[in-house]
Amino acid sequence: AVYHGEVAALCDRARRLQATLPAAEALATFLRGMVDHIDAHEGLARTLATLMADRSSALAEGSRALEQAVTDLVTAAVRDGAVRDDVDPGSLMMVLHGIGAAHDRPDWRAEADGVITLVLDGLRRPL
């Protein structure tokens, strides 16, 4: 129940960001917020990592909902021309999975923020 509540809150946040910010900013804010969330909820990060590996689990529904929220953010950013049109939202989920899996690294937070910056730079549509 806690897991489902956390996922629902994250999905709601994605929808609120998409409704109130330009698409690229909404995506960036959501991804950076996911790092904050992973930092504050290490157990959830581990659960998400496990669920991404086991898509048949009863809890995998939450993982799919979260991936759909990311898909919606990416789709809006592509539609606005701010993000490349070859971006696979599943790849962003892998990035978040990797960040969560590396939570034990000594400089995890700084590295995680750097990875998100690198990803956001790579998502931008070339001028």
Between CA 32 and CA 62 the distance in angstroms is 19
Between CA 111 and CA 38 the distance in angstroms is 13
Displacement of CA 48 from its chain's centroid (Å): 11
Alpha helices per DSSP H over 2-123 = 2-20, 23-40, 42-53, 60-79, 89-101, 108-123
The pLDDT tens digits for 65-118 are 899 999 999 999 999 999 999 999 999 999 998 998 888 889 999 999 999 999
Q: How many domains does the chain have?
A: 1
Compute how many other C-beta atoms are within 10 angstroms of the C-beta atom of residue 92: 22
Kindly state the tokens that stand for 56. Answer: 């048949």
Model confidence band, residue 52 (pLDDT cutoffs 50, 70, 90): low
**Full domain range(s) for residue 115:** 2-123
pTM of the model as a whole: 0.86
Model confidence band, residue 57 (pLDDT cutoffs 50, 70, 90): low
**CATH number where 85 lies:** 1.10.357.10
